[in-house]
Amino acid sequence: MPRDAPTPPPFEPVALQRSLERYMVWGLVFMLALVAGFVAYRVREPGLRKEALRSQTASYTAVGRTLYRASCAECHGKRAEGGSGPTLNAKEFLKATTDAQMQLLISGGVSGSDMPAWNLDYGGTMTDEQVRQIVTFLRGLEPNAPSVPGWRKGKAPG
């Protein structure tokens, strides 16, 4: 009489298999959360950047205005309306001059004229950042800039 063959124990204990399933479910949950996180980030990012740009422009404008009043107003006018130096709030000037060009003009000055060099690299007193702040301030005048065809002359007598 043959003896009953002993049934072998299951290859993997049931508890281990359950544990594996739990790990797989949680793995899936985490993956989905990660994907959802990326999507949410992607959706919010442009708004965050716009807000960062807006607040940086606002603070640069404020600092630039202060620097302008202290260093430039005596020749270019308190509101950049011109003086012994050219009118800088003129539509014509602002339209014709890029930020990079302004940065160079202010940094290096105009040799042979009363316009000094402002950047430390050219023997002036300002950092690149400070010049950039002034450029931001001047650019901010553009929406309300009056048309001044003779802007180069400033408000010099004659």
145, two tokens: 């800039």
Output the six-digit token pair for 134.
């002034």
Examine residue 75 and tell whether it contacts ligand HEC (CB under 6 A). yes
- Going by C-alpha positions, the residue among 107, 104, 100 that lies closest to residue 127 is 107
Residue of 61, 71, 87, 107 that binds ligand HEC (CB under 6 A): 71
Kindly report the length of the chain: 158
Site string for ligand HEC, 12-51 (x = CB under 6 A): ----------------------------------------
Nearest distance from C-beta of residue 39 to ligand HEC, angstroms: 45
Taking CB under 6 A as the criterion, the residue among 1, 3, 54, 113 binding ligand HEC is 113
For residue 131, which phi and psi values (nearest 5 degrees)?
Answer: -65, -40
- Residues found near ligand HEC in the complex (CB under 6 A): 71-72, 74-76, 84-86, 88, 97, 102, 105-106, 110, 113-115, 118, 134
